[in-house]
Amino acid sequence: MMICDGSMALINAIISSVFQTQIDLYLTTCWQIATGKHEETFVDQPFLHLCASHIMKNGKRMTKQNFPRHYKFGMHTFGMMVLSTSLADLSFVVHHLAVVCTTKCKEIAEASFAELKDLIESNPSCMQVETSDDSGDFLSNTDGHQSEKNKQYFAEIISKAKDSGHSHQKTNNNPYHAPKFIDAIQTHVLPWFLLWSGIMLGDLGRHGTLPSYKEYSKFYKNLSSKTTQTIAKNNRTQGIMEKSQQELKRTRLRGRKFKNLAEFVQVYDETNLPVLKFHDGYRTKPVKRKKLNVCHDLAEETWAKKSKTGPTNQGVYFQPSKKLLQFESKKTGEVKVTGSQEVRDLWQSKDSNVVVASLQNGQHLLRLCSFKTLQGNTWLDSEVLEFALRMFIQNDSNVFVLDTFVVGCILNKDGPLLKRNLYSKVHV
């Protein structure tokens, strides 16, 4: 097994050089092993697995760009996808995430959010969902490369989630609406799920939790006692970055010690270039190196003093959420406008609006209708208004055609000003 922490270009290079095959053929082999349709000769082939930190780094970038308001929820969802040990688990997470991010209805999004919340707040590493999965026949009968099959399979799941969410699109109050987020996951992450999820090898964790690691514990213990190996005492395996930090800790140049590799390269270039340029005329004096204490090791690193997130030293988004996730309700700016407030708004408006008002049973009940919204209609002219008013008058209805000035006079109970605007067959 090889663990790769790099881009797709590096994965293609490793598969072509080490495995002597192409990435689509390798994904097809992995799929046949995961579904139990493989031959015995397939088991002898090596496995390539993407490091969880790399996929979470990509998830961090996607979440910050497309889902910034709900960053923790998005990252916990990525953690559940990485910890999925079966295609049913992964499909379950993708389906509900697609519903939450694509629907505009708050009630539908809240139901799927509750399903994901139960998984996040429980133990994600023991995630088991009961779903009907007929994906084996679908992926095996689809023509084309395996990555395209994977992409098409999850495209079907996301499209079904969109259809279920679009059936109730009357409201637009879902605060988690982010279709670009699920589109980025579908394009850049899901086609290679066999490389980074736990479907092939289970939950490896940061340093491995499978029984195969425990069987080789004696072997790792013997290697950790040697100073020439890249294995520390507190870690079963040690990556290249931790190894470089260990060597950098013992390096001294110009009487300095360095915290990162960039500083060392800069100082080394400044020191070595003049020597290479004028090596014939100069002799370098040997520099006495200071002896390092035995305890001056990885234990003194700043990151080693930080408290571990759990007994398995897993990341924060691979563990149950400490804070309860609550569905955020979108604040709507709807304000109830009363009749009097509407009249005041019309009175304060700069445009001259035509207002129709009626008085019933001697009470000042103003029914105001602004014709401002009908300005684009060419059929509403003076003749149509005159015909409508005559129909109301024949039915013994008290109808008033007023402007905003007269409406203000009525509200202020200014009698003399009202008498100047009286018409025949109009009663006050």
Contact predicate 328/174, CB 8 Å: no
Residue 21: the pLDDT is 81
Q: Would the pLDDT of 107 be above 50?
A: yes
Distance CA 190, CA 204 (A): 19
Centroid of chain to Cα 379? 51
Q: Which residue has the tokens 């993708």?
A: 94
CA distances from 336 to 34, 57, 342 (A): 58, 46, 10
Distance CA 303, CA 324 (A): 28
Contact predicate 38/144, CB 8 Å: no
Instruction: Look at 330 and 261; give whichever has higher pLDDT.
Output: 261
Encode pLDDT of 44-84 as tens digits. 567 777 777 778 888 888 899 889 888 989 998 988 888 88
Closest CA to 124 of 304, 314, 271, 268: 314
Encode pLDDT of 346-364 as tens digits. 555 544 444 444 444 444 4
Residue 252: the pLDDT is 80
* Torsion sign (Cα): 76, 81, 85, 90: positive
Average pLDDT over residues 205-211: 49
Name the DSSP class of 363: B
For 21-136, list the strands marked E by DSSP: 48-50
Contact predicate 207/236, CB 8 Å: yes
Contact predicate 399/358, CB 8 Å: yes
Residue 98: the pLDDT is 92
Most confident of 215-229, 261-275, 413-427: 261-275
Residues in the chain, total: 428
Residue 135: the pLDDT is 45
Q: Would the pLDDT of 212 be above 50?
A: no
Helix (H, G, I), strand (E, B) or coil at 33: helix
Residue 87: the pLDDT is 84
* pLDDT mean across residues, the chain: 67
Q: What is the CA radius of gyration of the chain?
A: 36
For residue 2, what are the β-bridge partners? 48
Q: Which helix (H) or strand (E) holds 400?
A: strand 399-402
Instruction: Look at 203 and 240; give whichever has higher pLDDT.
Output: 203
Encode pLDDT of 159-194 as tens digits. 888 887 665 555 667 888 888 999 999 888 888 888
Average pLDDT over residues 306-310: 52
Average pLDDT over residues 118-126: 71
Distance CA 333, CA 336 (A): 10
